[in-house]
Amino acid sequence: MVDSTAVAAALNALRIEVPSWAFANSGTRFKVFAQPGVPRDPYEKIADAAQVHRFTGAAPTVSLHIPWDAVSDYGDLAKHATDLGVGIGVVNANLFQDDDYRLGSVAHADPRVRGKALDHLYECLDIMAATGSPDLKLWFADGTNYPGQDDIRDRQDRLAEALSAVYARLGDAQRLLLEYKLFEPAFYTTDVPDWGTAYAHCLELGPRAKVVVDTGHHAPGTNIEFIVAFLLRAERLGAFDFNSRFYADDDLMVGAADPFQLFRIMYEVVRGGALAPESGVTFMLDQCHNIEPKIPAQIRSVLNVQEATAKALLVDRPALSAAQRAGDVLGANAVLMDAYNTDVRPLLARLREDQGLDPDPMAAYARSGYPEKIVAERVGGRQAGWEA
């Protein structure tokens, strides 16, 4: 039996952080398509993010990416967010868009470049202090393209040295979140290519270093829910970067490519107790909306996470464990599939109504007038994008 009051409470408590860069122009290696009404600065990005929270009631924080979201007064930016009913979440460092980083950043062979990279990470810590952000998220583009290009092992030493320097400066309530990605932009070696490498560095650092699972950062066919279960058991899962993919790091809307995979991941989250706020696991979106309108795409993504979570919560866990203990392979699988095959949209619509929200956030946003307002108002200036 599933306790429906507990399911409702867990869904009402679910919080999903949105990325500032999802509201800016983005594209592929081939083309960035500009969209009308796109924000021109971090203040406008936060205003758009606040719309996602306004219609879902579930997205109260925004991740920043530095220097994309560089401003002269971070306290003022945080106040702007609060005025709009949202807060600043994770601060993402960016060590991949400076000419100096052609051969890497924290793992570069040249101590001058490593020093510059470390200074950027320290700057991110200052921004966290000014905005009240709890977490520093690190993804390194570092790696090599050709065998022999650099010493694989020396690069690990340099990486470890930079990580421990940053870790030493963390405040007591702050965390270091280390993200991995199989490849890209480096093609031969990547310095943090997988969860095992990230986990090993986090273990060396200490308890406030946790792994980020970006769902798009694995080889095709990887069992991501296994990684989630393992890291939760080891108390080293810090956060998710949600998105979905058909091929590599596609950064499409979460739950679009494979809603069943998202359900399986969320089931391990539920099983591992990671929906509880005290677990410290943060649920974030890391997506780019290259061809679709950005604000509704973020709303859709929040709804997709809610739907997968609702299904995961509907798994009859006592029945599942009984079937598992009895070695009832088909019975156990049926318990899981029953939950997955439940239409949870009416349940989520009811919960929204109970909170005074529109039961259909997509439709409510489309009717709100906001899309037309930003197109009319945001004329002139330079639209925000990857280089902004």
Q: Cβ closer to Mn ion: 48 or 179? A: 179
Q: Cβ closer to Mn ion: 251 or 307? A: 251
Q: Does 249 bind ligand RM4 (CB under 6 A)?
A: yes
The two three-digit tokens of residue 148, written as one number: 């022999």
Q: What is the sign, positive or negative, of the torsion defined by CA atoms of 34, 86, 61, 347?
A: negative
Q: Does 358 bind Mn ion (CB under 5 A)?
A: no
Q: What is the DSSP secondary structure assignment for residue 210, as one 8-state letter?
A: E
**Residue from 23, 139, 167, 283 in contact with ligand RM4 (CB under 6 A):** 139
Distances in whole angstroms, Cα of residue 154 to Cα of each of 107, 132, 158, 205: 8, 35, 6, 18
Write each residue from 52 to 71 as x if it is in contact with ligand RM4 (CB under 6 A), else as -, in one continuous string: -------------x------
Q: Cβ closer to ligand RM4: 93 or 347? A: 93
Distances in whole angstroms, Cα of residue 119 to Cα of each of 67, 95, 135, 278, 284: 13, 11, 17, 32, 26
Residues 6+ apart with CB under 8 A from 258: 244
Q: Does 358 bind ligand RM4 (CB under 6 A)?
A: no
Q: Does 241 bind ligand RM4 (CB under 6 A)?
A: yes
**Residue from 286, 308, 309, 339 in contact with Mn ion (CB under 5 A):** 286
CB of 45 to ligand RM4, least distance (A): 14
Residue 151 and residue 148: Cα distance in Å, rounded?
A: 7
Residue with tokens 């092992």: 153
Identity of the residue numbered 325: R
CB of 253 to Mn ion, least distance (A): 14
Q: Does 241 bind Mn ion (CB under 5 A)?
A: yes
CB of 274 to ligand RM4, least distance (A): 19
Contact predicate 150/102, CB 8 Å: no
- How many residues at the interface with ligand RM4, by CB under 6 A? 9
Among Mn ion, ligand RM4, none, what does residue 249 contact (CB within 5–8 Å per kind)? ligand RM4
Residue with tokens 């990230």: 198
**Element containing residue 379 per DSSP (H, E):** none
Contact predicate 163/176, CB 8 Å: yes
Q: Cβ closer to ligand RM4: 284 or 299? A: 284
Among Mn ion, ligand RM4, none, what does residue 101 contact (CB within 5–8 Å per kind)? none
**Residue from 120, 181, 210, 294 in contact with ligand RM4 (CB under 6 A):** 181
Q: Cβ closer to ligand RM4: 286 or 358? A: 286
CA dihedral 101, 105, 108, 110 (to 10 degrees): 70
Interface residues toward Mn ion, by CB under 5 A: 214, 241, 286
**Interacting residues toward ligand RM4 by CB under 6 A:** 65, 92, 139, 179, 181, 214, 241, 249, 286
